[in-house]
Chains A and B, each alone.
Chain A
Amino acid sequence: MDKPVNNRAWWLVAPVFAIVAFSAIIPIMTVVNYSVQDTFGNNQFFWNGLGWFQELLDPSTELGGRFFDALWRNLLFSGIILAIQVPLGILVALSMPRDGWRVAATLVLMALPLLIPWNVVGTIWQVFARADIGLLGYGLNALGIPYNYTGDTLSAWITIVVMDVWHWTSLVALLCYAGLKSIPDAYYQAARIDGASRWAVFTTIQLPKMKRVLLIAVLLRFMDSFMIYTEPFVLTGGGPGNATTFLSIDLVKLALGQFDLGKAAAMSLVYNLIVLALCWVFYTVMTHSGSERPEQGSAA
């Protein structure tokens, strides 16, 4: 058998190569290039090898110290966000109406926070939480609860967390709602016939059937919260002090504020790897938990 040999099929793949090159490979390689060099301005660069990476991963140095501080802040923030938004989203989804005009009304209401640009969300909460004129800040202080997000670390964190919950719980709820809607009525009917309690229905039917969308929700919320920038930047600018300086905020300070391109490049590469690695871990754990290979043929 003679197969005609030609390479014309490459033309079909070429546009994808071009797009990926411009959107991913070239920018990343630029960053890699910066990460192994040092610059003192004037567009002069000097070879630094793995120096920035060594400094970055050593908590005793100035660079390493601020990197790990920001990293722990990020992990803590993501942990809090997932711990609140996932259960809350499920709870909201469970209490959403299942049919009638209320469905449309609820969906629109739920989608609203998702449609607001991130910097606007930050601005809304910045004003809302201000102790002098904001309804929330003024109200809390009037009730005798000391609250000041520009001066007090705890206040700042609570504000950012509440803001993120307000902004993104809808996403988790909508995903879970879609998962719930896909459960056939027969499951609920069977559960009633089997005399299952409300809690048993949740743990034996609803939660297992929502597993796939929950996986997506957790991944999305983790990635988003781990890369959060705009809202805290607008709200607190990383303060008070460095209390809400997350990795992304620190990165921008380093790269654009101090113009330490080499340090910033090394930091952004490590940051990127952490996000990738954690997503891979989440995905692997959630897709492999409790799965057994399906058996082919009759099991009777």
Chain B
Amino acid sequence: MASITLDHLAHAYRPDPRDPQDYALKEINHVWRQGGAYALLGPSGCGKTTLLNIISGLVTPTQGRILFDGKDVTNLPTEARNIAQVFQFPVVYDTMTVRENLAFPLKNRHLPREAIAKRVEEIASRLDMTRVLDRKASNLTADAKQKISLGRGLVRSDVAAILFDEPLTVIDPHLKWQLRSTLKELHRALDLTMIYVTHDQTEALTFADTVVVMHDGAVVQTGTPEELFERPAHTFVGHFIGSPGMNVLPVRVDGATAHIGDVAVRLARAYPALPAGEKIELGVRPEFATLARAGTGLPVRVKRIDDIGRARIARVEIAGHAAAAMVPDGLALDGDRAGLALETRQIHIYAGGVLVPGEGGVG
């Protein structure tokens, strides 16, 4: 049981990194609270697996320290850290039964035989695997194998954190939610720190209390799923989370008014001090943009309307830029002209991709 502190941590796979592009993982400071359920979310190659491997000790960072409960473990090997890891592809020891697989980490640590047997039974019943304990592990399905990998972490009572590296990649879709809820239950029951790496926003948002979004080797935002949705700190977070992603439109901001081409948008806050030379953008989620009759709101041209089941999404063009908006039930469109109503408080302004807080509140 431990909290994990990342202190000025950075990693480069090249031997002598100089400029920021050489780093697979740019400097990061973060504390993983004891007992938290975290998700590391980001596209492939954003550095999330590197970060995970640094925590588990499979990779030694180029700079910075990693502390477990204040104790420096940066140079400790994996086996000396109390970490368990579940990999993308299920790792089971083929020649062993499920029982032997679960007992393996304890056997290697020379625990007494009775203690091992008791602990294995306990974890097997938690994972609902008692029935298959004496089966060969190699003959089980992928989801059962992933549970064995997880079980090998859980049997160790000293384990500080369990790391998951995209554990549901090879699991059948209909079993994914089942395994995910098993994970949530275990997290609640065992008070373990869990860090879950994924590129799937649904997995991240449903599993974690705190989501860490990574992009291009750096952490761009850490927050609850709600925060990520309502106040994306970076246009990347806006794009990456949500389906469809946030509308990001280039604008010129003048006090509390944004100009998209020749269309003026009223803002909830004033932005007097936007940095010069940076690209200024307006971000608003489709969920806060509603299509309306022509003549109300901002003038847009409707390109097409997609029915995604629970809602209809309009693909529109505003002053020459593409955007997405919700189509309310019963809206009758006359040709391709329509209006767009934005929820003023949900409009964010970004400078060079980074959220600008703005001053004062008008509405």
Interface residues of A (CB under 8 A from B): 184, 186-187, 189-190, 192-197, 200, 204-205, 208-209, 290, 292-295, 297-300
Contacts and interface: CB of A to CB of B under 8 A. Distances in A.
Q: Is the interface of A mostly helix, strand, loop or mixed?
A: loop
A186 B91 contact: yes
Contacts of B58: 189, 192
B175 interface: yes
B144 interface: yes
Contact of A300 (B56, B87, B144): B144
Contacts of B109: 195
Given A195-B108, A298-B144, A189 B135 contact: no
A204 B175 contact: no
A80 to B, nearest CB: 28
Given A292-B139, A295-B139, A300-B144, A192 B77 contact: yes
A88 B129 CA distance: 40
A189 B94 contact: no
A129 B149 CA distance: 55
A205 B92 CA distance: 9
B143 A292 contact: no
Interface in B36-56: 56
B93 A204 contact: yes
Nearest to B81: A193
Interface of B: 56, 58, 77-79, 83-85, 87-89, 91, 93-96, 104-105, 108-109, 128-129, 131-132, 135-136, 139-141, 143-144, 147, 149, 152-153, 175, 178
15 contacts: A186-B89, A186-B91, A189-B58, A189-B85, A190-B85, A193-B83, A196-B108, A204-B95, A208-B93, A290-B95, A292-B136, A294-B139, A295-B141, A300-B144, A300-B178
A194 B152 contact: yes
A294 to B, nearest CB: 4
Contacts of B85: 189-190, 193
A192 B143 contact: no
A207 B163 CA distance: 27
Given A192-B77, A192-B79, A298 B56 contact: no
A190 B141 contact: no
Contacts of A297: 141
Given A194-B105, A194-B108, A298 B143 contact: yes
A196 B175 contact: no
Contact of A187 (B91, B105, B132, B139): B91
B68 to A, nearest CB: 15
Contacts of B93: 204-205, 208
Contact of B132 (A186, A197, A299): A299
B342 to A, nearest CB: 47
Contacts of B143: 298, 300
Contacts of A204: 93, 95-96, 104
A299 B96 contact: no
Contacts of A190: 85, 87, 91, 149, 152
B128 A300 contact: yes
Contacts of A195: 79, 105, 108-109
